[in-house]
A = this chain, B = another copy of it.
Amino acid sequence: MATSATTPNTLLLKNPTARATVKPSPTHAFPTPRATAKPLSIKCQHSATTAAPVSPPTTSTDRLFNFAAGPATLPENVLLKAQSELYNWRGAGMSVMEMSHRGKEFLSIIQKAESDLRKLLDISDDYAVLFLQGGATTQFASIPLNICKPEDPVDYIVTGSWGDKAYKEATKYCKPKVIWTGKPEKYTGLPVFDELDQSINARYLHICANETIHGVEFKDYPTVKNKDAVLVADMSSNFCSKPVDVSKFGIIYAGAQKNVGPSGVTIVIIRKDLIGHAQESTPVMLDYKIHADNNSLYNTPPCYGIYMCGLVFEDLLAQGGLVEVEKKNVKKAQILYDAIDGSGGFYRSPVEKSVRSLMNVPFTLEKAELEGEFVKEAAKEGMVQLKGHRSVGGMRASIYNAMPLAGVEKLVAFMKEFQAKHG
């Protein structure tokens, strides 16, 4: 491992930018207009075009319960706030989407997002927080490119599709080995950590903390045997759903579009001493040093997505932080799993009970031929995206932070009715 802190991308580095600090506004929501408001005709002062007659903004009561796995439901108050300030953000005279990423307004937005995330997860200064593009899928390559030499052995625990994809991508950049796979049991469980045959010199041990498709979630984490190695976790689908001891990890990464924002933002939390040794062939946009040195502003970041994440982080803090958020998630998941377990086999969860995900709940019907009707009937009741992932079939309810308790209660009530009708 090179001891120098420069990378082939150093020649492209700019100076880190300074940041302004601005006090946050309180969170507030948007009024619900009457459904039959009359359209208005206006002329914009600053525009030569005549605006056509309009409808008022829709905040109607026909909002669905959206059980999609990502992109996913967002907190209602966050959406309403974003809507209220889309055209003119807090008197700035422009939308967040129009701001120079190097101007003081956007700097205040990204700075606040980062500091709120640090509060939420209690992230120490030993770690950098990066807001990147490219999805978790780019991180599958970035991680080995940045912290491995091509000949380095690396261990992967594969507990579902996403761990499998991460492993396959890593084969290009290091010498990864699958030291445990849940595939023989159809990805319904986790390994016993003490029984893991970890490689002596593995540079890192990779896990997918929550498998979105298979609904398998780590409740605690393996210890990496090699003292010089680190634990790396894809937390895309349970990020900020519960507290995490970040100090156990070298890298945590997460696509925002499950629990904390819209698609287009990937958050990387990386211990600083791991940065600066990227392989020579690393594209500049995949080099953590470039992004860390430039506070995620080496090039234009996904500004609106970062802003939305910031609103979500604020909202999570307002709920009392991740301890409180976890309580809600445990409660919601409990209601749903109880309904499955209490159905006498009409509904079935394939996952080993101790590792059932709080976020993604796959289940099947004893009478599989009813699955299409289940999804259709649920949609009529205003509950959508319950079809299981195309690779596994069945049903799946994703019940992220922003899924209200009322949505889970409605789903469970529907499940009981459906069983009564078809059982």
B-chain residues with CB within 8 Å of residue A303 when the two chains form the complex: 71, 262-264
Decide if B58 touches A85 in the complex (CB within 8 Å): yes
Does A339 sit at the interface, judged by CB under 8 A? no
Flag if B58 contacts A88 (CB, 8 Å): yes
- Residue A371 is within 8 A (CB to CB) of chain B in the complex: no
Query: Does A101 contact B405, Cβ atoms closer than 8 Å?
Result: no
Distance to closest chain B CB from A84 (angstroms) = 5
Flag whether A80 is at the interface (Cβ < 8 A). yes
Q: Are A30 and B46 in contact (CB under 8 A)?
A: no
Question: A100 and B68: CB pair below 8 A?
Answer: yes
Q: In the complex where A86-B86, A304-B304 touch, is A140 in contact with B284 (Cβ < 8 A)?
A: yes
Residues of the B chain whose Cβ atoms lie less than 8 Å from the Cβ of A406: 46-48
CB-based contact B57/A86 at 8 Å: yes
B63, B83, B137, B305: the one contacting A83 at CB < 8 Å is: B83
Indicate how many identical chains form the complex. Answer: 2
Q: With A46-B65, A95-B79, A303-B264 in contact, do A28 and B8 touch (Cβ < 8 Å)?
A: no
- Contact yes or no, A49 B77, CB < 8 A: yes
Looking at the complex, which one of B59, B68, B280 makes contact with A98 (CB distance below 8 Å)?
B68
CB distance from A403 to the nearest CB of B (A): 10
Q: Please, which residue of chain B has its CB at the minimum distance from the CB of A60?
A: B88
- Restricting to A290-305, which residues have a CB under 8 Å from any CB of B? 298-305
Report the minimal beta-carbon distance from A278 to chain B, rounded to whole angstroms: 11
Q: Is A28 a contact of B54 with CB atoms below 8 Å?
A: yes
Instruction: Answer whether residue A198 sits at the interface, using C-beta atoms and an 8 A cutoff.
Output: no
Chain A 60-92 interface mask (CB, 8 Å, partner B; 1/0): 111111101111111011011011111110011
Q: Does A247 make an interface contact (CB < 8 A)? A: no
Tell me, rounded to whole Å, the shortest Cβ–Cβ distance linking A54 to chain B.
Answer: 5
Does A137 lie within 8 Å of B285, measured CB to CB?
yes
- Please report the C-alpha to C-alpha distance between residue A265 and residue B305 in the assembled complex, in whole angstroms: 11
| B93–A62 touching, CB < 8 Å | yes
Query: Closest chain B residue to A172 by CB distance?
Result: B281
Known: A56-B84, A71-B300, A101-B263. A8 touches B77 (CB 8 A): no
Roughly how many angstroms separate A87 CA and B145 CA in the complex, as a whole number? Answer: 40
Distance, CA A302 to CA B257, complexed state (A):
10
**Which residue of chain B has the shortest Cβ distance to A92 in the bound complex?**
B64
Q: How far is the CA of A55 from the CA of B95 in the complex (A)?
A: 17
Seed contacts A71-B303, A98-B262; 7 additional CB < 8 Å A-B pairs: A71-B99, A79-B87, A100-B385, A141-B283, A262-B303, A264-B304, A283-B283
The 7 closest A-B pairs by CB, nearest first: A264-B302, A64-B93, A29-B51, A141-B283, A31-B40, A97-B262, A83-B86
Q: List 10 A-B contacts (CB under 8 A).
A: A12-B168, A31-B40, A46-B407, A57-B84, A57-B87, A58-B87, A64-B94, A82-B86, A141-B284, A172-B281
